[in-house]
Amino acid sequence: MLTLNKTAGVFKPSKRKIYEFLRSFNFHPGTLFLHKIVLGIETSCDDTAAAVVDETGNVLGEAIHSQTEVHLKTGGIIPPVAQQLHRENIQRIVQEALSASSISPSDLSAIATTIKPGLALSLGVGLSFSLQLVGQLKKPFIPIHHMEAHALTIRLTNKVEFPFLVLLISGGHCLLALVQGVSDFLLLGKSLDIAPGDMLDKVARRLSLIKHPECSTMSGGKAIEHLARQGNRFHFDIIPPLQRAKNCDFSFAGIQHLMNKIIIQKEKEEGIEQGQILSSAADIAAAVQHTTACHIVKRTHRAILFCKQRDLLPQNNAVLVASGGVASNFYIRRALEVLTNATQCTLLCPPPRLCTDNGIMIA
């Protein structure tokens, strides 16, 4: 069905040509297409994903290739490795999404692709492939902001009116924004250092949870969540950061530093070398997860109060949308539910499979 030749996945237009294309490109949201069927392509980090979605939000076909297993072995994402895996899989993934949808490429209305933010090498693979496909099929190209896609995904599964508050928490991003319309965002706060998912992954790596029999096939964040169920979150006394900061920003580097100090101390107490599993690993996992949840809730609470005081959100039944990979953590979701119940808001989260990177949100 897909007529691109086998070199499509490694097509490399120059940076100048890509820049000139994006500068000269004009997309008009009001343009009417006959069928309104969009192919979405996502390669911002370590998932190669594609999906075909129609104008009513029906997902006609999707496919995804996860690199998690490869990156678990290397202890983290190595950009050139992620780039090569995207190149090896993008044509197959797009073909699978189109085949599942039973849509011919010639019947597509447009091709939408993530262009920022993300790993530059990974983004380049999706953009290069898309530009060649756009040129071959003579279809409109829609450049997509990755975080806006996460923010608006909820409108695929729920009837959500503007404005609403969105909390985007993942391995690479953390921000709070007021969504006033499509492509109309008021940024209220962001992480001053690292993202929460990145921090949880690093703590899991320092705990060597990949060696834990129950966590050997899990990502760092998932391993922390799994092990935390067995631990005592109050075993360690940890104060979340930015307690006196009068804004909605986040900080997770301090939590990571504090957890590293705790781990070093416990290794000395238990007389074990770095790389071995601590007997207190579950308590540490529970503590870092609880501290992360408290910090996220505290900053989000400030954003809700700010918006309500300035009538930027309805006083009753305001909507908070939590999305991104970390939003699939059920402990953090439950903490956000407590917050929204106390502030007369409604918490909405996309299904877990739509919280992580996917082609559906791009389409």
> Which pLDDT score, from 0 to 100, does residue 132 have?
95
How many whole angstroms separate alpha carbon 254 and alpha carbon 239? Answer: 10
Q: Work out the average pLDDT over 179-197.
A: 95
Q: Spell out the long-range contacts of 238-247 with Cβ–Cβ below 8 A and sequence spacing 24 or more.
A: 238/287, 238/288, 238/290, 238/291, 240/291, 240/294, 240/295, 240/298, 241/295, 242/295, 242/298, 242/299, 243/298, 247/189, 247/302
How many whole angstroms separate alpha carbon 249 and alpha carbon 240? Answer: 13
> Which pLDDT score, from 0 to 100, does residue 109 have?
95
Strand partners, 168: 175, 323
User: Which pTM value belongs to this model?
Assistant: 0.84
Which residue, 153, 84, 113, 70, is CA-closest to 327?
153
> What average pLDDT is seen over the chain?
89
Q: Taking 80 as the threshold, does the pLDDT of residue 72 lie above it?
A: no
The per-residue pLDDT for range 276-325, each reduced to its tens digit, is: 999 999 999 999 999 999 999 999 999 999 999 999 999 888 999 999 88
Count of residues in the chain? 363
Tell me the two tokens of residue 309.
């005081």
Cβ distance 337 to 344 under 8 Å?
A: no
> Which pLDDT score, from 0 to 100, does residue 325 have?
85
The per-residue pLDDT for range 83-131, each reduced to its tens digit, is: 999 999 999 999 999 999 999 999 999 999 999 988 999 999 999 999 9
Q: Other CB atoms closer than 10 Å to residue 178's CB: what's the count? A: 20
- The structural domains of the chain, ordered by start, are 35-139 (3.30.420.40), 164-354 (3.30.420.40)
Q: At 16, is the pLDDT very low, low, confident or very high (cuts 50, 70, 90)? A: low
> Which pLDDT score, from 0 to 100, does residue 32 have?
45
How many whole angstroms separate alpha carbon 223 and alpha carbon 234? Answer: 19
How many whole angstroms separate alpha carbon 363 and alpha carbon 359? Answer: 6
Contacts of 200 (CB under 8 A, 6+ apart): 220, 221, 224, 288, 289, 292, 326
- Kind and range of the H or E element at 297? helix 281-309
> Which pLDDT score, from 0 to 100, does residue 46 have?
86
Which residue, 129, 107, 124, is CA-closest to 11?
129
Q: Work out the average pLDDT over 188-211.
A: 95
Tell me the two tokens of residue 76.
């983290």
Q: At 18, is the pLDDT very low, low, confident or very high (cuts 50, 70, 90)? A: low
> Which pLDDT score, from 0 to 100, does residue 20 have?
54
Residue 219, burial from CB neighbour count under 10 angstroms (0-12, 13-18, 19+) = buried
Q: Choose the weakest-confidence range: 66-80, 93-107, 171-185, 216-230.
A: 66-80
